[in-house]
Structure 1
Amino acid sequence: MNKKLLGVIDATTYYDNLKDLTTHRSLAALPFAGRYRLIDFVLSSMVHSNIQSVAIFPKYHYRSLMDHLGSGKNWGLDRKRDGLFFFPSPNLDTPSAGIGSFTHFAANLDYLYKSTQEYAIIANCYTIFNMDFQPVLQRHLDMGCDITEVCQNGQSLDMYLIKTSLLIELIETRNQTGYTCMKDVVNSLAPYTICTYEYLGLAYKIDSIPAYYQTSLKILHPYILDKLFIQTQPIFTKVKDEPPTRYQKGAVIKNAMVANGSIINGTVENSIISRGVKIGKGTVIRNSIIMQKCQIGENCVIDSAILDKDVKVESGTVMNGTAKKPLVIRKGTVQGALMNS
């Protein structure tokens, strides 16, 4: 049974209220927890479920996503048979119908025709979780289901298990049935047996700035961290060879997650620091997310903020947001004390 599943990741989703973080990258490539991207969680879950063929369907700004995943080597998907596949949307101006767009799939039907896996798991790219899909398949078979929808607390997680042949049929007959995506089929009165699988683990949808911010800080809690980053089911990501972070004399770190390659002179509390970040003397960072290669000068105060990659903060700058409305600084911008006065 371990080789029956085909992995399909829909990476076309765009949320307007995340645009400050996704103007130059797809949602799937959004950094998370200092060294990961959102897609790492669903992709790692598929790999741990013995899925050996994964198709990714991106749409907007997917260059950074392709650069992150490469050949799939870090996930063990660089193989001669099956492996990792990219199928960008040929219709960039067409709005996404929902997870599992049949129009997008139709442009790449050859992949499904050639697949040897009898069943397919169709998943979104924006849920933080660590899941084994094999029990979903087992329940699907035991219950004689046509489609199984994965839920948590009765709410859909936008993940669906379906027989590959039925998926092909739905795609080919979409113009006659009017179904545009998997949700249409599940919510309709279609003559199919629709089942649900209640997922009991942790799962967080990243569909807004507050959701991204609050979920990021949640993983600083040891219980959440242990439930999400399971030792026997690690979350894989792109490997970068960087030196350990250097903590200079006088640096203070409290309840923080710090990636490699950084240089810290100031104070970091309840925050996430990504790779290659530089923090100057006298600077205090609280309740914040600092992404890769940000440079923060001396005697700054940053509270409840999200700094995207390559942001430069000049010395003496004060930046404050709130837990409900964190301050977001876009990629590559410069923030100075005079600008904020």
Structure 2
Amino acid sequence: MAKVIGYVNLHSDVSLKGLTERRPLASVSFLGRYGIIDIVLSNFSNSNIDNVGVLIKEKPRSLFKHMANGNAWNFNSKNGGVQLLYDEKYAGNGMYNNDINNIVENIAFFETNKPDYVVVAPAHIINTMDFSELVEAHAASGNAVTIATQKVKDADVNWIGCDYVKLDSDTKLVTQLETNMGNAKNRMISLEAYVFSAKTFEKFLKTAEKVSPFYSIRDMLAYSLDERRIGVYEYKGYVRCINSYQAYFNVCLEFLNYEVSTQVFHANWPIFTNTNDTPPTKYKEHSCVRDSMIANGAVVNGTVEHSIIGRDVIVGDGAVIKNSIIFSGSVIDPGSVLENVIMDKRARVKNMKNLKGELKEPLFIKEGDVV
């Protein structure tokens, strides 16, 4: 059986406004009880890839706290686990702080594990891809690199700023890797998940050092399309891209649709996260909850509609929360009304009782603020 290692690539230029001011996207709260990174880590675990390195670009503190020892994601601790790979040499050094330089600076992770194949995948593209199937398809293809893709019909509205590929009609090899600017509906979108054989990966890194220290994995793939056989693996399951503040809001609330959530959460593909020693949710006398996700430890004594409530949130008597995302430890005082709001951790609605954002521009309340 081939040995595979994985890299979770956090070297994206995704910003979620205030949500990523002090933390990387990977550790932003997702659906009240997860971090965004939990999805891709669970994919690696469920695919029986037990050695995973997390390529951290910046703001590592909250990620260190979330990851702890990595045991929550059910990796085989005897044969592997999670390693946090931070490029201290180039951290905060502009263009040098990229995924390739991080891998090279932490090359011991690759060399010690001696893999047959390497899978690189991002955290901000949400899916439940079986990476073992991706590796099998790559091995059978004989190509140097395989890019996971999906054909979409809404590239003019969503997926703006993501990559798309074009294929040669005869060889089915990638001839173009470009940025989607939204000028066409139908695109084959790159899911930024790549698989290499170990030998190809070594050569790829050495070539990158000669070409430019500023080049990322994506840049090198685009640069070498004429020199390497780069194919695609078409993934047909649920996929969403969280590449903006608005996309985060939309994707999270989309999961309140049962037909959507069951595409990601099912018995044979668990999504792992850190457990918390908190009591069950408490619904008090005046609580009314509809079409929402409520995490454990919350105390609800108001109305919650089409919203996501994190751990240990207190919703006071008569408070109304609609179409909002409330992070853990926050307090909504009695009589408050919130609509289209994203409220960061340990914030409190106390004095301004009526807070309303727009569907296309949800109001943001910073971590720890009392408003």
- Structure 1 CA distance, aligned partners of 2:309 and 2:13? 25
CA contact (8 A) 2:55 2:99 kept: no
- Structure 2 CA distance, aligned partners of 1:148 and 1:96? 26
Structure 1 unpaired stretches of 5+ = 336-341
Q: Which residue of 2 aligns with 1:125?
A: 123
CA deviation digits over 1:32-68, x for unaligned, max 9?
A: 0010001000000000000010011112111111111
Query: In the alignment, is residue 182 of structure 1 matched against residue 217 of structure 2?
Result: yes
- Structure 2 CA distance, aligned partners of 1:278 and 1:96? 43
Moved more, 71-80 or 301-310: 71-80
Query: In the alignment, is residue 253 of structure 1 matched against residue 289 of structure 2?
Result: yes
Give me the TM-score of the superposition, normalised by structure 2.
0.86
CA deviation digits over 1:57-104, x for unaligned, max 9?
A: 112111111111111111123624322111112212233679x72111
Q: Which residue of 1 aligns with 2:275?
A: 239
CA deviation digits over 1:222-265, x for unaligned, max 9?
A: 00010011211010000111111110102100000000001111
Deviation at 1:181?
A: 2.2
Deviation at 1:286?
A: 0.3
Alignment partner for residue 45 of structure 1, among 43, 46, 49? 43
Q: Which residue of 1 aligns with 2:358?
A: 322
Deviation at 1:295?
A: 0.5
CA contact (8 A) 2:87 2:106 kept: no
CA deviation digits over 1:127-161, x for unaligned, max 9?
A: 22212111111111111111011112110111111
Q: Which residue of 1 aligns with 2:93?
A: 94
Q: CA distance change for structure 1 residues 220 and 325 in 2, over 3 Å: closer, same or farther?
A: same
Deviation at 1:111?
A: 1.7
Give me the TM-score of the superposition, normalised by structure 1.
0.93
Q: Which residue of 1 aligns with 2:319?
A: 283
Moved more, 166-175 or 238-247: 166-175
Q: CA distance change for structure 1 residues 149 and 300 in 2, over 3 Å: closer, same or farther?
A: same
CA contact (8 A) 1:106 1:172 kept: no
Q: Which residue of 2 aligns with 1:105?
A: 103
Query: In the alignment, is residue 160 of structure 1 matched against residue 159 of structure 2?
Result: no
Alignment partner for residue 294 of structure 1, among 330, 343, 362? 330
Q: Secondary structure at the match of 1:173?
A: helix
Match runs of 1:220-235 below 5 Å: 220-235=256-271
Moved more, 195-204 or 285-294: 195-204
- Structure 2 CA distance, aligned partners of 1:58 and 1:275? 26
Alignment partner for residue 203 of structure 1, among 239, 243, 251? 239
Identical-pair percentage: 32
Paired amino acid for 1:204 = R
- Structure 1 CA distance, aligned partners of 2:26 and 2:255? 19
CA contact (8 A) 1:13 1:96 kept: no
- Structure 2 CA distance, aligned partners of 1:225 and 1:320? 26
Structure 2 unpaired stretches of 5+ = 152-187
Number of positions where the alignment pairs a residue of Structure 1 with one of Structure 2: 332
Q: Which residue of 2 aligns with 1:305?
A: 341
CA contact (8 A) 1:33 1:272 kept: yes
Moved more, 124-133 or 239-248: 124-133
CA deviation digits over 1:112-139, x for unaligned, max 9?
A: 1222220010011212221211111111
Deviation at 1:15?
A: 2.7
CA contact (8 A) 1:44 1:236 kept: yes
Alignment partner for residue 172 of structure 1, among 202, 206, 222? 206
RMSD over aligned CA atoms reads 1.7
CA contact (8 A) 1:244 1:262 kept: yes
Query: In the alignment, is residue 268 of structure 1 matched against residue 304 of structure 2?
Result: yes
Q: Which residue of 1 aligns with 2:169?
A: none
Match runs of 1:31-42 below 5 Å: 31-42=29-40
Q: Secondary structure at the match of 1:87?
A: strand
Deviation at 1:315?
A: 5.5
